[in-house]
Amino acid sequence: MSSIEVSSTKLESNIERLTLRPQRPPPPPPSTQFEPSIPIELKRTSFELETTFSSTEISDESNKDIKDNQSSFLYEFKDLFDSFDYKTVRNKILNRQMTTCPFTTVLWRIFLHCLSRDSSQWNQIIDASREHYDELVDRYLLDMKKIRENNGDAKDVNHPLSQEENSLWNQYYVYEELKENIYQDVIRTCQEISFFRQKHILDLLLYVLYVHSRHYGQTLPYRQGMHEILAVIVHLMYLESITVNEYSESNELMKKLYDPEYLAHDSFAIYEKIMEHLQPFYDFKSNNIVTRKNINMNVNKHMPFQRSHDVQVQMNDTVMRVNSIFELLQNYDLPLYEKLQALSIEPTVYGM
């Protein structure tokens, strides 16, 4: 059989198979009956519906989490302060179990005796503390209007050129110099933190430090570095106040403790108490001026790292404390003690 005949036979066979295969019925004609239109919002794929339900569930869970956080936040405050357990809280702090407490500055106020352990007395204590600060501000921030109203002639104590100690103008010039000295430190406070680049915060630091220095000028006048102590207080007070005031569940006492309008007042109260404890470290007294050689002869104690040309030195509580480290070092680590002595490195360098 020729190849042409074989090809024609295959073609006929294929045609037969095609004709024998059942044909798909034609689609039915469109219905002429009225069909109610399906609302657009119901015309969704199963994927869209699943996505909607899942997002709704997530939203509900998020709202539940927010409510739970608010409830737990309020619960933590009430649990901690409604019946304050001083000893338990103190031990937790020492064991670093309260590093995430959102009420750290309230704890500061309790341990520094700005607040009592009984929270039922806090409203009265807070009001008195804020009034105290307002009184100090009125007393020490000189009002230029009052000064000008009290101007007198050249013989008057309040004349602008008067050098009398009680002269308002003389006080103004003296304390403006103090303010300028404080401000030079304040503008250098934590410059890497934007919070401390805001003018109203710098002004707050300036006036709190100024008022404190005026009030304690005889015993604890302002010294360089004190601004850094206040800065920590103000910053944390501010951050905690934001958290408290953002929660709708915060009760009235929480809002009063963290009222942003009284940031300066409450920061001053904490700073004032801290400086009471730090005063010995800033307290240079005339009777602490000693000669190291005289100490050696009279007390028969070796003064740390004494040189032959030692002269009178001014000592305060800090120096006395770090000198005691020297005595311990000699007993517990003699090689280190001898090395430091050979290099003439004084305890005030490494003991801080």
Residue ranges of the domains in the chain?
122-282, 286-350
pLDDT of residue 20: 46
- Give exposure, 97-118, as e/b (b: 16+ Cβ within 10 Å): ebeebebbbbbbbbebebbeee
85 pLDDT more than 70:
yes
pLDDT for position 80: 95
pLDDT in tens, 11-63: 455 544 444 444 555 555 544 443 444 343 433 444 443 444 444 454 555 55
| pLDDT given for residue 322 in this prediction | 73
Give the model confidence (pLDDT) of 49-68 as tens digits.
Answer: 344 444 445 455 555 554 55
Q: What is the pLDDT of residues 252-301, one digit of tens each?
A: 999 999 999 999 999 999 999 999 998 887 876 544 444 444 433 344 44
pLDDT of 135 higher than 80: yes
DSSP summary character for residue 114: S
Alpha helix stretches (DSSP H) within the chain: 3-20, 46-81, 86-94, 104-111, 122-140, 144-149, 168-186, 199-215, 226-246, 252-257, 263-282, 292-299, 317-332, 334-342, 347-350
pLDDT at 49: 38
d(CA 236, CA 240): 6
Q: Percent of the chain having pLDDT more than 90?
A: 44
The predicted structure's pLDDT at residue 76? 93
SS3 (DSSP) at 37:
coil
